Structure 1
Amino acid sequence: MSEERRTRTAEAFFGRRHGKTIRPMQAVVLADVLPRLKVDLSAASPGDLRALFPVPVDRIVLEIGFGGGEHLHHAAGAAPATGFIGVEPFVNGMASLLRMLEREARPNIRLYDDDAAALLDWLPDGSLDRIDLFYPDPWPKKKHWKRRFVNRANLDRFARVLKPGGLFRFASDIDHYVNWTLLEVARQGGFSWRAEMPDDWRAPYEGWPGTRYEAKALREGRRPAYLTFVRT
């Protein structure tokens, strides 16, 4: 195994790959639909990511860990001139989004079902307008904090692939992970936090449809935070 591969494995997108048993229709879409939408990292990265999409797009957004796909599907429908790349290694989440796409196609979506760090390393410099990371696994035990996706290595990746002025958006209902993210981003030094008053991080993003994870957090009495950072 190469040194590059060992490093990437150590920084992988940790989490479960399987949950509930895959139902027959889910298996069908994973076998038939996903290959048509999947970003192929074995191919050379295009100089212009707009070439990944069969429709004209003028902006590119990456959503890492899209869960059940509610936000990604909604966002792609609301902004058809934006190309969205969604990453989700959890098989059940990917199958959920693919079923939505069967019912309501989104030609401006492309998908990747493995390690987000590998995709980030494949992307060209300054190729993204925004990165969204919503409700990532908080890994609450201190011994597991090193597995949190927000870390110096991944923030360096974000800084490389985002355009100057591009956005990194982070939402979580776990106070400690919110504080962790603020500190890690400040240490990285390539971003500024776009907040001047409490509503700038307490109010959901414009056009926010909500997610199943957010709904659970609200039911359990946890108040989410919505952070926005600008690539300087």
Structure 2
Amino acid sequence: MTPLEDARDAAFFGRRKGKALRAGQAERLRQLLPRLAVPLHEPAPTDLGALFRHAPTEIRLEIGFGGGEHLAHRAAERPDVGFIGVEPFVNGMVKALGLIEERGLANVRLSDRDAIAVLDWLPSASLQRIVLLYPDPWPKKRHWKRRFVGPDTLARFARVLRPGGEFHFASDIESYVDWTLFETRRVPGFRWTATRPQDWRQPWTGWPGTRYEAKAIREGRVPAYLTFRWEPDGDRMAFDEFNDTLRSRDPS
């Protein structure tokens, strides 16, 4: 593990546990999660589709899926697609497992590890989409370094996205939206797809909404929905130089 990876792994600040699980929830976690867990202890398959029972037309990753409402909705909507969901928060994982079991979803794999470990395990150019919805905003300026979106994670996104693949980001915190636009523009090859205000004011097609989003709207905050496309062809050399600089950086 590189110094940068060590520093990023140590910088996980999210909760891992909440209320005590009921007996049925604990049993679901014990029985179902091992069957669906991404096998990070093994080398990643060259063809990531091998993780799924069917041959998926594409594979998407959702980071920090909360209770799994969006993940389960999209998986039911697109049974031809393989979905990988990452959520270290145990209570959220249990809720997602319940939805998967209830709806009989066969196209979902899960991980309760930090998303950085999953990103580093994935093969290059293996994903069509990465989704990050309402991540912890860390609104105080002294905590901004804890935000998940940063040059190291975006470099990881670039490695695992296919050319033409997309990064979807949603937040109701204006400073985090601005932060994400700034950080993504710094990575050669990522292009913000918006051409008019409606492109970031309206959610994506088929959007089911989330509980956090509903709360934000009730409290007067306005969500933004950003789409970035990974188009490395014209910026490959610039991205390689950016990545070399990033890897050589001393995080101390």
Which TM-score bucket, shorter chain as reference? over 0.9
How far does the alpha carbon of each residue in 1:107-143 deviate from its partner, in whole angstroms, 9 at most, with x for none?
A: 1000000110011001111000000000000011111
**Alpha-carbon distance in 1 for matches of 2:57, 2:144:** 37
Larger Rg: 2
**Deviating runs (4+, > 4 A) in structure 1?**
1-5
**Alpha-carbon distance in 1 for matches of 2:179, 2:8:** 22
1:74-153 matched pairs, under 5 angstroms: 74-153=73-152
Residue identity opposite 2:75 in structure 1: A
TM-aligned CA deviation for residue 206 of structure 1: 0.2
- 1:55 corresponds in structure 2 to 54
Residue identity opposite 2:99 in structure 1: M
> Helix, strand or coil: the match of 1:45?
coil
- 1:6 corresponds in structure 2 to 6
**Alpha-carbon distance in 2 for matches of 1:228, 1:30:** 33
**Alpha-carbon distance in 2 for matches of 1:191, 1:2:** 24
Residue identity opposite 1:136 in structure 2: P
How far does the alpha carbon of each residue in 1:45-91 deviate from its partner, in whole angstroms, 9 at most, with x for none?
A: 10011000012211000000000100000000000000000000011
> Helix, strand or coil: the match of 2:229?
strand
1:1-232 matched pairs, under 5 angstroms: 3=3, 6-12=6-12, 14-232=13-231
Residue identity opposite 1:25 in structure 2: G
TM-aligned CA deviation for residue 212 of structure 1: 0.8
Residue identity opposite 1:68 in structure 2: G
1:8/1:118 contact within 8 Å kept: no
Superposition TM-score, scaled by structure 1 size: 0.96
Residue identity opposite 1:186 in structure 2: R
TM-aligned CA deviation for residue 186 of structure 1: 0.5
Superposition TM-score, scaled by structure 2 size: 0.89
**Alpha-carbon distance in 2 for matches of 1:108, 1:150:** 27
TM-aligned CA deviation for residue 11 of structure 1: 4.6
**Alpha-carbon distance in 2 for matches of 1:112, 1:26:** 17
**Alpha-carbon distance in 1 for matches of 2:84, 2:208:** 18
TM-aligned CA deviation for residue 4 of structure 1: 6.8
> Helix, strand or coil: the match of 2:186?
helix
The number of residue pairs the alignment matches comes to 231
TM-aligned CA deviation for residue 2 of structure 1: 7.2
Q: Percent identity?
A: 60
Q: In structure 2, list runs of 5 or more residues that go unmatched.
A: 232-252
> Helix, strand or coil: the match of 2:125?
coil
Q: In structure 1, list runs of 5 or more residues that go unmatched.
A: none
